[in-house]
Amino acid sequence: MERRVFVVLFFSIFSSMLGVGIIVPLLPMYAESLGASGLWIGIIVSGFSISRSIFMPIVGRWSDKRGRKVFIAIGLLIYATISLGYILSDSVADLVTVRLIQGFSAAMIIPIAFAYIGEISPKNGEGSYMGIFSVSLFAGFGLGPLLGGVLKDQFGLAADFYAMSGLCFFAFLLVLVLLPELQLHREIEQPRSYIEIIRSPVTKGLIIFRFSNAFARGILITFIPLFAHGILRLTASQIGIIISSNILLTSLLQAPFGYLADRLTRKSLVFWGSLWFGLCVALIPHMRSFAQILALNTLLGSMGALALPAANALVVEEGRRYGMGAMMAIFNLSMSLGLSAGPILGGIIADLGGLPPIFYFGGLAGAVGALAFVSVLKGK
């Protein structure tokens, strides 16, 4: 039965993230076509993460009490429905509204799915289990931009939004019909409050890592399409390939790096992966061709893959003590806050000084976060 949980959630998350990833390289340009400034592009991209940040702690705690399946299914259904709102949007305000509703629904999907997988992962094998499952997330999200660029070039932008909605609805049907509820959440001791969880030095370090890494990644995802299109003059398909190369390589390396996370020091893997990821982000303004920026993105994908399985394994360890849903909510909340802050601050910088300083700022944030992470966990 646990194998069935893993397989159903794997293919459900892959399908939904394939749909979500389709619009990644297109949303900034779509917003720009509706008259959005750099700041408003950042707000549109961040609206998703801001909304998700608000609701994740609530949903995470509820799922620790009431189970996982119902939240994942409802989240996927709402996401599939509201995705059609992009087609009806004709203003910046419309896009912000759609993104906020999508963020609310997303709070019920990824964190809760990972909490369920964390519950069925074996002790001392958390890295491998979470690494293999993370392939569904990154493979779907990585193939999405490539598919989105091709769909846009061949059939127009509306095709991307229809595809996103259809894939998320397919994931909803998989969960509704095939996913069992094992009630494993009832076996985990509950803390008195989120404050108790955050007092743990390991949790503090994980919050710092996830926020700073997501901050740099948010800047990367939001502004690399504008850099590639506006400065390098690349096509939508080429931009999709660039973004996909990063994420797909991260996907391919999740399983082997998850294996390493069960055999090497997890703290070191998180530190070195996040440090080099930040430094690579800062190199983006120096790229001068499609080949150069593609090569750099493969390196970014490798460094992202090195850190995440080890961090997820640490999250599962903490989740066994504090509640898996609550711990996954905190970890993903940190990611959402970083993904929110990065594009917004990056948009302000873009309006003031252009695109290159954005990547220097994002890279610095990623490197500083890596140093702060290892400092907080010193001796742990």
Dihedral class, residue 183 (left if φ above 0, else alpha if ψ from -120 to 50, else beta): left
Specify the pTM. 0.76
CA-based Rg of the chain, rounded to a whole angstrom? 19
Q: Is residue 184 part of a domain?
A: no
Ranges of residues in the chain whose predicted pLDDT is under 50: none
What pLDDT score does 212 carry?
93
4's tokens: 């069935």
Q: Environment class of residue 90 by beta-carbon count within 10 Å: exposed (0-12), middle (13-18) or buried (19+)?
A: exposed
What pLDDT score does 204 carry?
92
Q: Is residue 188 part of a domain?
A: no
Instruction: Residue 217: name the closest of 96, 97, 303 by CA.
Output: 303
Q: Is residue 185 part of a domain?
A: no
Q: What is the DSSP letter of 109?
A: T
pLDDT in tens, 190-240: 555 778 888 888 999 999 999 999 999 888 878 888 888 888 888 877 887
Number of domains in the chain: 1
What pLDDT score does 211 carry?
94
Q: Is residue 314 part of a domain?
A: yes
Q: Is residue 186 part of a domain?
A: no
Distance, in Å, from the CA atom of 247 to the CA atom of 252, rounded to the nearest integer, reads 9
What pLDDT score does 311 carry?
92
Distances (CA, A) of 191 to 51, 107, 334, 345: 25, 21, 19, 35
- Contacts with 68 (C-beta within 8 Å, 6 or more apart), sequence order: 112, 113, 115, 116, 181, 185, 325
Are the beta carbons of 379 and 252 closer than 8 angstroms? no
What pLDDT score does 224 carry?
84
What pLDDT score does 360 carry?
92
What pLDDT score does 189 carry?
56
CATH code of the domain containing 44: 1.20.1250.20
| Residue range of the domain that includes 45 | 2-179+193-376
Instruction: Residue 305: name the closest of 239, 371, 242, 247 by CA.
Output: 247
Distance, in Å, from the CA atom of 104 to the CA atom of 323, rounded to the nearest integer, reads 21
